[in-house]
Amino acid sequence: MCGIICYIGEQNSIPILLEGLKRLEYRGYDSAGLASINPENGEVLFVKSVGKVGELEKKVKSTDFSGNYGIAHTRWATHGKPTEANAHPHSDCTGKLFLIHNGIIENYEILKKELIKKGHKFVSDTDTEVLAHLIEDNLKDNFEDAVRKSLAMVEGTFGIAAIHKDFPRKIVVARRGSPIIIGIGENEYIAASDVNAFIRYTNRVIYLNDDEMALLNDNELVITDLNLKQIEKKPETIDWQYEADEKEGFKHFMLKEIYEQPRTVENAVRGRLIEGEGISKLGGLEPVLDRILNLKKLTFVSCGTSFYAGLYGKYVFERLTDLDVHVDYASEFRYRNLKLTEEDGVVAISQSGETADTLAALREAKRKGSLVLGLVNVVGSTIAKETHAGVYCHAGPEIGVASTKIFVSQCVILNLIALLIGRRRGLSVFDGMQLVKEIKKLSGNIEKILEKADLIREIAKKYLPYQNFLYIGRHLNFPIAMEGALKLKEISYVHAEGYPAGEMKHGPISLIDEYFPTVAIATNGFTYEKMISNIQEIKARNGKVIAVATEGNDEIKNVVDDVIYVPETIDILQPIVNVIPLQLFAYYFADFKGCDIDKPRNLAKSVTVE
């Protein structure tokens, strides 16, 4: 998997393909390649490279090739190491067909053995190359039909694009479980796995659904299912702007996105709160509101940062509603013997809306008859389409692989959903009004922390020599400790563990010495005194402690080595405030180390394989 971009139209495809790849770099990748055809003379440019898109660009610039249609790809290795042979596009024995693919062909070994018996020669270790040879094997006189027949033979997931020298001015794209979006311009089409790849050129898009295929040529778009039944689709207009993908003077996208969080909170709540009644209004949930109000149990399923948002959401829902609330890793959810009924609800949380494990979890929940809701950022994403109802974050594009603003948006919106249910199931108007009032102050509280960024930067610099960190918190702040540790290891490659502070004495405390600092979330609340006890246990073992504490708490300075102060809010919202300094600490720590912060090694923004 990783990024797909295709172009067909009147312009030279090469600059558009290269720019598209660069705009997909944030998704994470290890190699890249492109294939373009000049239909006037039949010439083909087929180039691949290991490493950054810049390496591919150097190779392309050494030619004077111009072709008005082509395909390009950034690869994140699943089958085979990062090599030029394993990079996409892949070709067939004739060297005339070129194919790019996101996803996994699960039965590729069986297909490969059969194709080898027929005389096909393979040059890579990938599963994708099997599909290229399969199309070659099925090709008679119709390119689209050969693609369709081949896709019917594979098991697994795919988002593909293919071109063929003998069938000029055609690009065939298809999807099953891996996104393909088609941008519609003036006398041109741009297909990609992510709208960021082409938002500069058009904001009119069509989303392919699973088991749909599209034929793009110079002036026509034909969409069918895999049985060749034609499908009519109207373009949608997306509201992301090209400028939103720019750094705007920030050194990295991640830092820009951290600073965008006051606006992210405002976007999450705009038009969704009625302070005088202490209620929330979520139009995306209204069609199934009666069913929501009859739920007995609710389960959050998600991965990575979104899992920690769900874990925080569990505490919020238990506080504001009478629901029985659970949290599951989406990657483990469907392997359990699930006791799901129509009275159960499952909330799929995903930034991209394409996370393969989360999709698999929600599909399993639907099979069992449960109500399935979505909390995603990307409009038109697969999770948004497959859930019964849901809520969008409206946070705009998040380019940094390590999520920051989407996490905060998810946490805020989980409060809104819990408030929606709680106010109809026993939560008092007073409690509702207090929560709404404090939610409206969140953006200002975040601004106050951002004003202290220089102090956090200096603390991060001080702890650069250390290679191990423990993050601890209690109750609502336990998920924030987990998220803070994840941020540090994601972008700095330093070992960090998030732990419930009460569990520290049951194992992790054995790690503590003068070389193993702890980040302790010790803001005001009913667990504060217990957190101080945990901190003293660490100090008794010569451990260094950085505390996140409430403004005005001068006493904690006598107990810890460094303090980052945050504004005080009600306890249910305090974790949203507390995560901001942890994001900044991780960012500055990684920046001092010289890490590739926006594109950390081995990680991808949208994980579309299980």
* Catalytic annotation, residues: 2, 605
Measured distance CA(445)–CA(266) in Å, rounded: 12
- HSE of 413, CA atoms in CB hemisphere, 13 A: 33
Q: How many CB atoms lie within 10 A of CB 607?
A: 22
The answer to whether 312 and 480 are in contact (CB under 8 A) is yes
The answer to whether 268 and 394 are in contact (CB under 8 A) is yes
The neighbouring-strand residues paired with 162 are 99, 172
DSSP letter for each residue of 466-531: --EEEEEE-GGGHHHHHHHHHHHHHHH--EEEEEEGGGGGGTGGGG-STTS-EEEEE-SSTTHHHH
Measured distance CA(562)–CA(490) in Å, rounded: 23
Name residues whose C-beta falls within 8 Å of residue 541's C-beta, 6 or more positions apart in sequence.
509, 512, 513
Measured distance CA(251)–CA(249) in Å, rounded: 6
The answer to whether 40 and 65 are in contact (CB under 8 A) is no
Q: Which of 517, 513, 510, 478 is nearest to 495 (CA)?
A: 517
Measured distance CA(355)–CA(352) in Å, rounded: 7
The neighbouring-strand residues paired with 100 are 161
Q: Which of 610, 600, 601, 598 is nearest to 196 (CA)?
A: 598
